Amino acid sequence: MNIAFIAHDRKKEEMVNFVIAYENVFEDHKLYSTGTTGTRIMEQTKLSIHRFASGPLGGDQQIGALVADNEMDLIIFLRDPLMAQPHEPDINALLRLCDVQGIPLATNVATAEILVKALDRGDFAWRELVHKYKPGVDS
């Protein structure tokens, strides 16, 4: 599965702690993140993460491009609802794209934990079918 991690500044420590708690689940998947979030996770874990630009510099849009192509399977985006973000239009576009493509998206740790436990149980097998039967892919 392709999994992305995004966290606003005041949520980065929470994201790192969450990923540490579920490192054994994430280690068998292809991981992506916005810049600083990915760096902080890699400093505290043994995970390898493809990092894009930071969110305000287009990282949200880079992940959004994968979502638009239905190449992302799960996004954990720990948002800070109490702080205005300068790139709010990019954030809203990413959330909308997840809804359009049916990509599971967690915006808080409680939802993230439910999704990661489902991932660990194998409940995301339906995403493999999405990839297998994509237009232009020989089945």
Q: Which residue has the tokens 């606003």?
A: 8
Annotated binding site for substrate: 8, 12, 34-37, 54-55, 87
- Give the distance, in angstroms, between the CA of residue 6 and the centroid of all CA atoms in the same chain: 6
Distances (CA, A) of 131 to 7, 55, 61, 69: 26, 26, 21, 10
DSSP E strands, 8-100: 30-33, 49-51, 74-78
Residue 6 in contact with residue 90, Cβ under 8 Å? no
Pairing mode of beta strands 74-78, 105-106? parallel
Residue of 28, 60, 69, 120 with catalytic role: 60
DSSP state letter for 34: -
Annotated binding site: 8, 12, 34-37, 54-55, 87
Is residue 138 annotated as a catalytic residue, yes or no?
Answer: no
Active site residues: 60
